């Protein structure tokens, strides 16, 4: 019996002894007179037990079953660490996160991740429509095994709803992975208005080198990724800090906690198995955690028909005398043109597609040659031309389509020393120098 019940029992016993009236007892206990009279009858018939609630000591009808409790304990003590909310989701809501937490605390098990104190941040309002802004990023992590190698998970989410649009796994964060991500995003959902990412050299130019053509144009040439977005009419925003794109950064914390645990829990330890499980995980994640957009109108635009040509690395080349062009060891034979003409010395554009095909485009005749993919394990990367060996590593942009056309930078002039050279950049004549001697006009040229 607690203090509250003991206090009630004392007042009710005084009423039974005739020391206080029912009205006075009800006022002392802060209840109505009818309720006080009901408790008085229970104490008179049952004794001190009449003060306590009738459900005390009974099992709650909402108590989870022993089978579910055993399943919760099994997940809590298993090899794969899961948080309380994740276990509740895996059990389809049969046990609430609070119930899982109580069972974990009863067994004195620590939580998977300690809670950190919240930090002050300014909230950025979501976009009103789907497709207005898409956030992209990559997260290296040990997705398959805690002792295995790191793989990079590339993903894209919508800013208005926080739904995962697409995910893919790559050994590293590379151009091929981002182009595969864009191809699936544009094909399944459409082309967004703008994309938000970090300042990786794959996405934007981070070097200070300007070629002569760039200086005349007044702007640096974009990377392959930037050129593709410009061709699709998509604006790219480069974040200056991870906190600026906090929604996708919080997604990585969720995926490193849940996706990695589910891959290990269900035995998906290979790349093929993980890629096959990603669509199911995306569907379940969006159904539980995605929110509705403020405006039901979507800003996604249909992808163009020549999307495969746009999602390609483009290079400018001059056709050789034997009507071939070369790109990083690969060469394409150009067939005769109209009237069996030769394309020697013609400037063409070579596009290396995501699937490995290589297209040669003439500014007047269009597609003039095509080469099939070299193999199934083809990886698209930035190719460099024959003059790449003369480029400085400090001025070479890794993702730029023009880094095989730029010349090596000019050497910097030496710093001038102190003295007269600092002002005139000329040596001071010696005392015996002819310039120091007095000039005397010869007699032959003197005027009378």
* Terminal Cα-to-Cα distance of the chain (whole angstroms): 142
pLDDT at 162 over 90: yes
Q: Express each pLDDT in 1-26 by its tens digit.
A: 678 788 888 888 888 888 889 888 88
Q: Which residues contact residue 375 at a Cβ distance below 8 angstroms, ignoring those fewer than 6 apart?
A: 356
Contact 229, 195 (CB under 8 A): yes
The model's pLDDT over 374-384, given as tens digits with 9 standing for 90+, comes to: 888 888 988 76
Pairing state of beta strands 194-197 and 235-238?
Answer: parallel
Residue 304 tokens, joined: 């163009």
Which pTM value belongs to this model?
0.66
pLDDT of residue 306: 92
Q: How far is CA 255 from CA 95, 154, 167, 196, 386, in A?
A: 22, 11, 11, 19, 43
Q: Tell which CATH classification among 3.10.620.30, 3.10.20.600, 3.40.190.10, 3.30.420.10 matches the domain 133-198+239-289.
A: 3.30.420.10
In 3D, which of 82, 84, 79, 87 has the Cα closest to residue 147? 79
> DSSP class of residue 434?
G
Cα(22)–Cα(14) distance, rounded to whole angstroms?
10
Domain boundaries, given as residue ranges, for the chain = 3-50, 66-106, 133-198+239-289, 313-432
pLDDT, residue 404, reads: 42
168 contact partners, CB below 8 Å, separation of at least 6: 153, 154, 155, 177, 180, 181, 184, 275, 278
pLDDT digits (tens, 9 = 90+) for 241-272: 888 888 999 999 999 999 999 999 999 989 99
Are the beta carbons of 359 and 306 closer than 8 angstroms? Answer: no
Considering only 44-48, 169-173, 178-182, 429-433, which range has the smallest mean pLDDT?
A: 429-433
Q: What is the CA radius of gyration of the chain?
A: 38
pLDDT band at 347 (very low <50, low <70, confident <90, very high): very high
Rounded to 5 degrees, φ, ψ at 37 are -65, -35
- Which stretch of DSSP H or E encloses residue 3? helix 3-16
């Amino acid at each position: 019996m607690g203090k509250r019940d003991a206090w009630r029992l004392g007042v009710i016993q005084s009423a039974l002894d005739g020391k206080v009236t029912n009205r006075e007892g009800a006022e002392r206990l802060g209840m109505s007179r009818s309720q006080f009279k009901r408790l008085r009858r229970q104490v008179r018939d049952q004794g001190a037990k009449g003060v306590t609630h009738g459900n005390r000591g009974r099992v709650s009808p909402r108590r989870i079953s022993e089978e579910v409790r055993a399943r919760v304990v099994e997940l809590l003590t298993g090899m794969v660490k899961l948080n309380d909310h994740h276990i509740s989701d895996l059990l389809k809501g049969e046990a609430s996160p609070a119930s899982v937490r109580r069972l974990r605390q009863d067994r004195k098990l620590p939580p998977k991740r300690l809670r950190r104190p919240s930090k002050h941040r300014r909230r950025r309002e979501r976009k009103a429509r789907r497709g207005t802004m898409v956030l992209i990023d990559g997260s290296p992590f040990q997705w398959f095994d805690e002792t295995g190698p790191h793989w990079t998970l590339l993903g894209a989410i919508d800013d208005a709803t926080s739904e995962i649009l697409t995910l893919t796994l790559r050994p590293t964060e590379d151009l091929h992975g981002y182009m595969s991500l864009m191809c699936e995003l544009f094909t399944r959902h459409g082309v967004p208005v703008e994309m938000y990412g970090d300042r990786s050299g794959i996405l934007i130019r981070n070097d200070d080198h300007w070629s002569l053509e760039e200086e005349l144009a007044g702007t640096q040439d974009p990377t392959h990724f930037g050129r593709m977005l410009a061709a699709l009419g998509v604006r790219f925003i480069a974040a200056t800090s991870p906190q600026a794109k906090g929604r996708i950064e919080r997604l990585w914390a969720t995926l490193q906690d849940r996706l990695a645990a589910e891959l290990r829990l269900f035995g998906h330890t290979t790349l093929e198995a993980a890629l096959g499980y990603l669509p199911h995980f995306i569907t379940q994640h969006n159904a539980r955690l995605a929110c509705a957009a403020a405006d039901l109108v979507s800003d996604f635009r249909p992808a163009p028909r020549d999307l495969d040509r746009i999602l390609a690395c483009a290079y400018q080349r001059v056709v050789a005398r034997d009507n071939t062009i070369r790109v990083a060891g690969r060469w394409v034979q150009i067939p005769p043109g109209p009237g069996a003409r030769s394309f020697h010395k013609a400037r063409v554009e070579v596009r290396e597609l995501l699937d490995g095909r290589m297209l040669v485009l003439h500014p007047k005749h269009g597609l003039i040659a095509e080469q099939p993919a070299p193999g199934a394990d083809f990886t698209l990367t930035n190719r460099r031309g024959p003059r790449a060996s003369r480029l400085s590593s400090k001025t070479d942009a890794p993702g730029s389509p023009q880094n095989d056309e730029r010349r090596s930078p000019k050497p910097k002039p030496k710093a001038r020393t102190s003295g007269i050279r600092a002002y005139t950049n000329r040596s001071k004549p010696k005392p015996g120098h002819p310039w120091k001697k007095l000039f005397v006009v010869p007699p032959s040229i003197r005027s009378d």
